[in-house]
């Protein structure tokens, strides 16, 4: 008696296990030995140790990007585009919200000299913002839109190849013109 598991189930379980291991690995960076220092310190503030910051941002990427890639399988091209643009838009609104918040709080308390470093402060706040993954959501959205563009480009090539085949069968001409080969394959035949 053997176990009858479908290949799709095995792939899904394997994906989840690898995804979980990658997430644990990303979070474990915070415990790596050595002192990476405080790379985000300056007049605008001082952030957490660099290992912790890298671990948190990388774990958000590991958490968000694989589902974005998996969206290629689960979602239609239009849905991928909508989800991708929503993620990019949500990220942009969040990043703008951080800038507005810093302007309403930090700018008021800062001296004239410190105000010259306002955008450094905004960057500092964005980089040290690990509770809400604005940067990682932006990356996931870009991945979704890129996947949609790749699939639409592939679909347009398929349509071009189908048009070429219909033209050849209709005309009874086996030869392919240079214009057809550029349309079909993006490079003229020699």
0.85 surpassed by pTM = no
Quick one: CA dihedral 68, 71, 73, 79, positive or negative?
A: negative
For residues 47 and 38, what is the distance between their CA atoms, to the nearest angstrom? 7
- Any idea where the domains of the chain sit in the sequence? 48-147
For residues 173 and 175, what is the distance between their CA atoms, to the nearest angstrom? 6
Q: Which two tokens stand for residue 13?
A: 């379980």
For residues 51 and 40, what is the distance between their CA atoms, to the nearest angstrom? 12
Looking at residue 129, its pLDDT comes to 86
Q: Which helix (H) or strand (E) holds 142?
A: helix 134-171
Looking at residue 189, its pLDDT comes to 44
For residues 65 and 150, what is the distance between their CA atoms, to the nearest angstrom? 17
Helices (H), 1-117: 7-28, 50-74, 77-109, 112-115
What residue has token string 């643009």? 85
Looking at residue 91, its pLDDT comes to 95
Instruction: Give the orientation angle of helix 77-109 with respect to helix 118-128, to 10 degrees.
Output: 130
pLDDT of the chain, 190 residues: tens digit per residue: 556 778 878 888 888 899 899 999 999 988 888 777 666 777 667 778 888 888 999 999 999 888 877 777 787 878 888 888 999 999 999 999 999 999 999 899 888 988 898 998 898 889 888 888 999 999 989 988 888 887 766 655 555 666 666 666 666 655 454 444 444 444 444 4
3-state helix, strand, coil in the chain (%, to 5): 75, 0, 25
Q: What are the two backbone dihedrals, phi and then psi, of residue 33, each rounded to the nearest 5 degrees?
A: -70, 160
For residues 99 and 96, what is the distance between their CA atoms, to the nearest angstrom? 5
For residues 54 and 47, what is the distance between their CA atoms, to the nearest angstrom? 12
């Amino acid at each position: 008696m053997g176990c009858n598991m479908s290949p799709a189930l095995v792939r899904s379980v394997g994906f989840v296990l690898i995804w979980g291991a990658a997430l644990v690995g990303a979070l474990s960076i915070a415990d790596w030995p050595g002192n990476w220092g405080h790379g985000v310190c300056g007049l605008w503030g001082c952030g957490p140790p660099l290992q912790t910051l890298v671990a948190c941002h990388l774990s958000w990427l590991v958490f968000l990007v694989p589902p974005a890639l998996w969206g290629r399988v689960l979602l239609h091209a239009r849905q991928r585009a909508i989800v991708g643009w929503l993620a990019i838009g949500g990220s942009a609104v969040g990043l703008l919200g951080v800038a507005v918040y810093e302007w309403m709080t930090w700018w008021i308390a800062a001296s004239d000299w410190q105000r010259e470093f306002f955008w450094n402060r905004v960057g500092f706040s964005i980089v040290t913002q690990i509770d809400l993954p604005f940067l990682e959501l932006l990356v996931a959205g870009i991945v979704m839109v890129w996947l949609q563009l790749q699939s639409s480009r592939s679909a347009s090539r398929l349509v071009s190849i189908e048009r070429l085949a219909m033209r050849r069968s209709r005309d009874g001409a086996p030869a392919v013109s240079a214009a057809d080969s550029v349309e079909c394959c993006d490079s003229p035949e020699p």
